[in-house]
């Protein structure tokens, strides 16, 4: 008898993710899962996002995944919100049980928005549901316009593409319109926001997208 261990793992994860999603939805918590390559700018985007969220009544919590160190959680905790690191000790993705364990002890009735930064990877995190309301893929202008075609799974499953580091466009050979066309070849309905964590470009639009999702959660 042949047992597909990978499929069994995903089925177990899906079960935990469904429980987590129901728990968050019951409390009106919006959860989003940021996925991107190492160096795509996920943490920098979250830093600027948290700085903006300090001026809103939203109660925010952050989980950030990494193979080693708690450096990202330390960076993000400076903005006055609860931030916890999930250290995967070699695993190339977060899973729903990791998220559930990391939330232990939080008063969920005091959270409106849960921001999850996944491990830097465009492949492994794609298949793992974390109970989030939406996956968000981060593509930087330093990576290449063909990334959506090379890694279609994450672009197909994402509600939004954040095109990051747009302040570098004058200095890199990157065609943003081609990157967007490639993403919409994979997922015609994907939303796109161009952002720069350096100069703040696109953060009004990004915040509008996030807050609109919050209202419908």
Question: How does pLDDT run across 137-146, given as a tens digit for each residue?
Answer: 999 999 999 9
Kindly report the number of other CB atoms within 10 A of residue 70's CB atom.
15
Which token pair is 42? 């996920």
Q: Where do the domains of the chain lie?
A: 5-216
Contact by Cβ (8 Å): 58, 29: no
Per residue in 156-189, pLDDT (tens digit) is 999 999 999 999 999 999 999 999 999 999 999 9
Residue where the block lists tokens 């996944």: 118
CATH class of 5-216: alpha beta
Contact by Cβ (8 Å): 174, 156: no
Per residue in 60-82, pLDDT (tens digit) is 999 999 988 788 999 999 999 99
Q: Map residue 72 onto helix, strand or coil.
A: helix
Phi–psi pair at 39, nearest 5 degrees: 85, 5
Contact by Cβ (8 Å): 112, 29: yes
Q: Map residue 31 onto helix, strand or coil.
A: strand
Per residue in 83-137, pLDDT (tens digit) is 999 999 888 999 999 999 999 999 999 999 999 999 999 999 999 999 999 999 9
User: What pLDDT, on the 0 to 100 scale, is given for residue 56?
Assistant: 93
Residue where the block lists tokens 């943490």: 43
| Alpha-carbon torsion (77, 216, 96, 186), positive or negative | negative
Phi–psi pair at 70, nearest 5 degrees: -115, 30
């Amino acid at each position: 008898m042949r047992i597909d261990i990978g499929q069994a793992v995903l089925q177990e994860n899906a079960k935990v993710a469904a429980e987590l999603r129901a728990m968050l939805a019951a409390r009106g918590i919006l959860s989003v899962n940021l996925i991107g390559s190492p160096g795509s700018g996920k943490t920098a985007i979250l830093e600027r996002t948290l700085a903006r969220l300090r001026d809103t009544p939203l109660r925010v919590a952050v989980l950030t995944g990494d193979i080693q160190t708690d450096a990202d959680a330390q960076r993000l905790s400076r903005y006055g919100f609860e931030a916890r690191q999930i250290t995967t000790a070699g695993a190339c993705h977060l899973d729903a049980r990791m998220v559930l364990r990391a939330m232990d002890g939080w008063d969920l009735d005091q959270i409106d928005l849960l921001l999850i930064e996944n491990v830097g990877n465009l492949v492994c995190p794609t298949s793992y549901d974390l109970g989030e309301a939406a996956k968000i893929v981060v593509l930087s202008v330093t990576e290449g316009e063909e990334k959506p075609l090379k890694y279609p799974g994450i672009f197909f499953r994402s509600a939004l593409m954040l095109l990051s580091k747009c302040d570098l466009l004058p200095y890199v050979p990157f065609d943003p319109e081609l990157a967007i066309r490639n993403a919409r070849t994979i997922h015609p309905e994907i939303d796109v926001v161009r952002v720069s964590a350096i100069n703040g470009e696109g953060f009004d639009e990004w915040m509008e997208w996030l807050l609109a999702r919050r209202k419908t959660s």
